[in-house]
Chain A
Amino acid sequence: MNYLFSPDNWEWLWTGNNARFILEGFLINLEIAVVSIIFALIVGLILALLRLSPIKPVSFIAGAWVDVFRNLPLIFLILYFALGLPSSWKQAWEDAMPGWAPEAFQSGLVLGAFLGLVLYNSAVLAEIMRAGILSLPRGQGEAAAALGMTRAQSLRYVILPQGLRRMVPATVSQLITLNKDTTLVSIIAITEVMRRGRIVTSSGFFVEVQAPILQVFIFIGLLFVIVNYALSRLSRRLEIRERKITGTKMKRVSGVEDVAVETA
Chain B
Amino acid sequence: MFDVLTEYWPEFRSGFWVTCRLIVASFLVAMVVGTLVAAFRIAPNKWLQRLGGLYVEVFRNVPLLVLLFISYAGLRRADVDIGPWTAGIASLGLYTAAYVAEALRSGVFSVGKGQIEASLSLGFSYAETLRRIVLPQAFRTVIPPLGSLTIAMIKNSAIIGVSLLALPDILKQARIVQARTFETDVTFFWAAVGYLILTGAATLAFRFLEKRFSIAR
Contact = CB atoms under 8 A, between A and B. Distances in A.
The reply to whether chain A is a binding partner of chain B is yes
B61 interface: yes
Contacts of A76: 158, 171, 188, 191-192, 195
Interface string B65-77: 1110110011101
A218 to B, nearest CB: 6
A71 B153 CA distance: 11
Contacts of A258: 60, 99, 102
Interface string B143-182: 0110111011011111100110000000100010010000
Contacts of A216: 74
Contacts, number: 134
Contacts of A186: 65
A73 B158 contact: yes
A214 B75 contact: yes
A255 B99 CA distance: 13
B122 interface: no
B184 A84 contact: yes
Candidate in B75, B99, B188, B196 with the most chain A CB atoms within 10 angstroms: B188
A225 to B, nearest CB: 4
Given A75-B158, A232-B61, A214 B78 contact: yes
Contact of B62 (A68, A73, A180): A180
Contact of A255 (B58, B77, B151, B184): B151
A220 B200 contact: no
Interface in A55-78: 68, 71-76
Given A71-B200, A254-B151, A80 B184 contact: yes
Contacts of B147: 254
A127 B171 CA distance: 25
Contacts of B151: 71, 254-255
Given A76-B195, A214-B77, A254 B203 contact: yes
Contact of A213 (B77, B154, B163): B77
B196 A213 contact: no
B interface secondary structure, majority: helix
Interface string A4-45: 100000000000000000000000000000000000000000
Contacts of B137: none
A74 B75 CA distance: 27
Contacts of A184: 65, 159
Contact of B171 (A79, A201, A215, A228): A79
Contacts of A229: 57, 61
B154 to A, nearest CB: 8
Contacts of B73: 213, 217
B95 to A, nearest CB: 10
A256 B196 contact: no
A221 B195 contact: no
Contacts of B70: 213-214, 217-218, 221
A221 B148 contact: no
Interface string A248-264: 00001111111000000
A212 interface: yes
A157 interface: no
A176 interface: yes
Interface of B: 57-58, 60-67, 69-70, 73-75, 77-78, 99, 102, 144-145, 147-149, 151-152, 154-159, 162-163, 171, 175, 178, 184-185, 188, 191-192, 195-196, 199-200, 203
Interface of A: 3-4, 68, 71-76, 79-80, 83-84, 176, 180-181, 183-184, 186-187, 194, 197, 201, 212-218, 220-221, 224-225, 228-229, 232, 252-258
25 contacts: A71-B196, A73-B155, A73-B158, A73-B159, A73-B171, A75-B158, A75-B159, A80-B184, A83-B178, A83-B184, A84-B184, A184-B159, A187-B162, A212-B74, A212-B77, A213-B74, A217-B73, A217-B74, A220-B66, A225-B61, A254-B148, A254-B203, A255-B148, A257-B99, A258-B60
Given A72-B196, A83-B184, A184-B65, 4 more contacts: A4-B78, A180-B63, A254-B147, A256-B148
